[in-house]
Amino acid sequence: MSYLVLARKYRPAAFSEVVGQEHVTRTIRNALGMGRLGHAFLFSGLRGVGKTSVARILAKTLNCGDDQYTDEPCGKCESCREVDEGRSLDVIEMDAASHTGVDDIRELRESVMYSATEGKYKVYSIDEVHLLSKNAFNALLKTLEEPPPRVVFVLATTEPHKVPVTIHSRCQRYDFRRISSADIAGHLATICGKEDVEISHDSLRRIAIAAEGSLRDSQSLLDQVLSY
């Protein structure tokens, strides 16, 4: 069996597992619990701080098959497993770097008009959205402003200043913070405990500092250290 890197193995599967972004997860969970969730979000922040993970958790929560869970996904139902495994037909994850043109957005606009096939919501997650062309952004405007019922957009970017103001005004923006070295070191210590690895606190602290606020970078560095 091929090795699964730590960043993927320990990717957060619920809002409560997200590290260092309580201001984001608390607001979204409250909105879910109160039934006041918006239809378009802009997640901005450094690489590896949880933007796409939170987008996936949001999609899981909206389509969770267990009605007892309103602000967290159960993680056990078929719908949650489909999202985790990347095979849900109702959760569309796009990379703007390879879908930059207006034709790609036109295809998206056409697919938006169809209802969710299995879940309750269709969720479109577009990573590095700032890479879309000007015409593609313009094609997306109307759909973001007035999407069909039960359609949610999550746009993620590391460079929010490159996203047009017209897109900003149609989204709820959440700024993801750099994660503190203390939080990163604590999370890495938890991972090492699960992996039965003995490592000093000073080593974890040095890895956390070198990661410069990115949890994913710290997990990649830890992988290298363990291999060495």
Share of the chain above pLDDT 90, in %: 66
Per DSSP, the three-state class of 70 is coil
pLDDT of residue 98: 80
- The predicted model gives 96-118 an average pLDDT of 79
pLDDT of residue 44: 96
pLDDT band at 114 (very low <50, low <70, confident <90, very high): confident
- The predicted model gives 25-42 an average pLDDT of 93
Give the model confidence (pLDDT) of 42-87 as tens digits. 999 999 999 999 999 999 999 998 888 889 999 899 999 999 988 8
pLDDT of residue 29: 95
Return the number of other C-beta atoms located less than 10 Å from residue 67's C-beta. 7
Supply 161's token pair.
């200043």
Q: Tell me how far apart the alpha carbons of residues 49 and 179 are, in angstroms, rounded to a whole number.
A: 7
71 in Cβ contact with 85 (< 8 Å):
no
188 has pLDDT over 70: yes
pLDDT of residue 181: 96
Mean pLDDT of the chain: 91
pLDDT band at 221 (very low <50, low <70, confident <90, very high): very high
Supply 84's token pair.
């985790």
Q: Tell me how far apart the alpha carbons of residues 148 and 13 are, in angstroms, rounded to a whole number.
A: 27
1 has pLDDT over 70: no
Give the contacts of 208 (CB within 8 A, at least 6 positions apart).
Answer: 181, 182, 184, 185, 188, 218
C-alpha closest to that of 47 among 123, 151, 127? 127
Type of residue numbered 2: S
Give the model confidence (pLDDT) of 131-179 as tens digits. 988 888 988 888 888 888 889 999 999 999 999 999 999 999 999 999 9
